[in-house]
Chains A and B, each alone.
Chain A
Amino acid sequence: MKISISRQHIYLLSLLTFFLVFVLLFSFALLIPEGKEYRKDRIEFKKESKELRKYQNFHSEVQVRLKELQSENRHIITAFDATFDPYRFQKQHRDYFSALTLSELSRVSDDDEFIAYEVNTTSEISTPKSFYDFLDAVNKSDWIISVEFPINFKRDGEMIKSSFTMKVFCADKDSNRTEPSVKEVAE
């Protein structure tokens, strides 16, 4: 039995085979591996995006905590950053004393974060209550000040002469920061 296939059909079949082989090769060699890569990358991207969102939330939480702390402790932060001004200190606290003298400010201790300056103070008060009021006012002043021992009270006629040491604390945020202005103030 003789099978007769026209030349036209042979061309058609060859072309069909060629195209089919090309499509299959293209699909298996390029398209499918690329598709797999795409799927892998998409999963990875989703994972990374989720991680980023989590980290952004954490960042926001830390930021909120910082803002809260800053607003809650605004006075303390400002007080630690403030440079001690003997004139202003005297002006703010002169009501408690009949006379107030501050000695020169000297640097006494210096750790990584805080610097302490010492200032000797002599004053005259009419009643011990003035001194109590002064100690209350020191806690609300523009600087972080601790009143240190020894404290001496001496009767002088109707007045009480007192002498004590104050420690002024500053934050050492900048190592190149300038020292507080040091001047003898006497009234």
Chain B
Amino acid sequence: MKYSYITPRKKSAFTTEVQLLILFFSITLGMLFITYLFLLFKDYSFIEDMNDIALTQSELSVEVSQMKEQIEFIEKENLLAQKIYTQNTVLKDSITNLFDLVPQRITLSEANLLENGLILYGITPNKDVYNFMLQAPLRSIFHRTYSSFHPADNGWLRFVSTNYIDEELSLSQEIESED
């Protein structure tokens, strides 16, 4: 016996409400998963980038220390070179002064420049010329001055003048002048 003229529709658990609910939660969960994956990826990328930064920094640090060593070495080279150039210039001035010191009436045959002294060999017409024109300026420069004379063939006098600067005395004089 039939109670209805229409065929009964099949009943399903996925009703429109359930479908809507599943769609809504699917979208929500999808977004949550995407966010979670994004965060995971960013964390991973931060860690990678920080490792790269640490590596770059250590490379830079090595380069900087090498460059600093080079700078220090060049500064040392420069300092030594300037010291040597000054020393050569001072030496040139000392030799110029020495030859300017010798008057025309006295003829030098040999000059020996030592680190703290000067030995001169030469010929002078007489002792007075030597004493006034050469020994006097030498005495003002050197602390100890010794002279010896030998007669030459032409009636002039051969002389040997030995002059020394005492390091201790010159140091104390420098200190006094600074005071």
Q: Which residues of A contact B (CB under 8 A)?
A: 8, 11-12, 15-16, 19, 22-23, 26-27, 30-31, 34-35, 37-38, 41-42, 44-45, 48-49, 51-52, 55-56, 58-59, 62-63, 65-66, 69-70, 73, 76-77, 79-80, 113-114, 128, 131-132, 135-136, 138-139, 144-147, 149-155, 169, 171
List residues of B (65-82) whose CB comes within 8 Å of A's CBs: 67-68, 70-71, 73-78, 80-81
Within 8 Å CB of B21, what residues of A? 12, 15-16, 19
Chain B interface residue bracket vs A:
35 or more
Asked whether A79 and B81 contact (CB < 8 A) given A38-B39, A135-B92, the answer is yes
9 further interface pairs, Cβ-Cβ under 8 Å (given A15-B22, A135-B95)? A48-B53, A52-B56, A66-B71, A76-B74, A139-B85, A149-B113, A150-B115, A151-B95, A171-B77
Asked whether A35 and B39 contact (CB < 8 A) given A66-B67, A77-B77, A144-B80, the answer is yes
CB distance from A136 to the nearest CB of B (A): 7
Q: Is B25 in the interface zone, CB < 8 Å from A?
A: yes
Give chain B's interface secondary structure class.
helix
CB distance from A20 to the nearest CB of B (A): 9
Report the stretch among B103-111, B137-145, B147-155, B170-178 that lies at the interface. Answer: B103-111
Residues A73 and B53 in contact, CB atoms below 8 Å apart: no
Within 8 Å CB of B99, what residues of A? 128
Residues B60 and A150 in contact, CB atoms below 8 Å apart: no
